[in-house]
Amino acid sequence: MTDSPITTNVQAGIGRITVNRPDKLNALNAATLDALYAAFNEAAEDPGTRVLVLTGAGPKAFVAGADIAEMSDLRPTEGRDFSQRGQRLMRRIETMPKPVIAMVNGFALGGGLELAMACHLRIAADTAKLGQPEINLGLIPGFGGTQRLLRLAGRAATLELCLLGIPVDAARALQLGIVNRVVAAADLEAETLKIAEQLAHAAPLALRGTLDAVNVGGECAIEEGLQYETAQFGLMFSTDDMREGTRAFLERRKPVFSGR
């Protein structure tokens, strides 16, 4: 449908999900949150999708924030429900069994930065602006911004971005650890797809094991995290991919992973 708030496609194992509201700078309204949630659920179950790239339509914005027009008249319980709707999506992305790359092509503000931070990797154009400006609306971040920013950038940077509400440029975001790489805007798509292609050819079960171990380790004591890592490491020895990977190394050739 041409009026869908998102577009999706899959090619050579790379799924691409695009927030498609360029006239609204790709702002997240309830319909867009629900469409994204459904798209990520579908991608999680699709054996033909090995990695996902998330971006925004148009030249200006990744996602410029939540839809203020939709939020402005919400009552407290409705505001809470809207927050939970957004957090459900962010958690779905964060716990995906396949890597998700945010291709940050412009403004990533408020809900947009929260969306990017839920992804596993973030590649930003050098022209991108990132921030949590909710304080300027009399609000606080509601889609997990205080928590994921704290884990990525630390307490001082989180308080600076959330209390002052002033966006930072891509270079500063890289310095703070909010994004993984910054590239020239003209090269953003090519550089992001290069990383996506590398992941699409990697061992799917090992990718999932890595994502699971990092997610678990980030929320528990190190002893528990180490035990979980050991368990995942052992499980890899039951996979065809582990045999193929080690055999290819010894035979000095590139492995071909099957996801089994």
- Catalytic positions are 114, 134
Token duo for residue 14: 């790379």
Question: Which residues are registered as beta bridge partners of 131?
Answer: 109
Among 102, 122, 140, which Cα is nearest to 178's?
Answer: 122
Angle at Cα 112 formed by Cα 167 and Cα 4, nearest 5°? 145
- The span from the CA of 84 to the CA of 77, in Å, is 11
- The span from the CA of 53 to the CA of 113, in Å, is 15
Given a contact cutoff of 8 angstroms between Cβ atoms, the answer to whether 132 and 157 are in contact is no
**Residue 160 is inside which H or E element, if any?**
helix 155-164
3-state helix, strand, coil in the chain (%, to 5): 55, 15, 30
Token duo for residue 28: 């997240």
The structure tokens 């590139």 sit at 254
In the DSSP assignment, the letter for residue 260 is -
In the three-class reduction of DSSP (H, G, I as helix; E, B as strand; rest coil), residue 73 is classed as coil
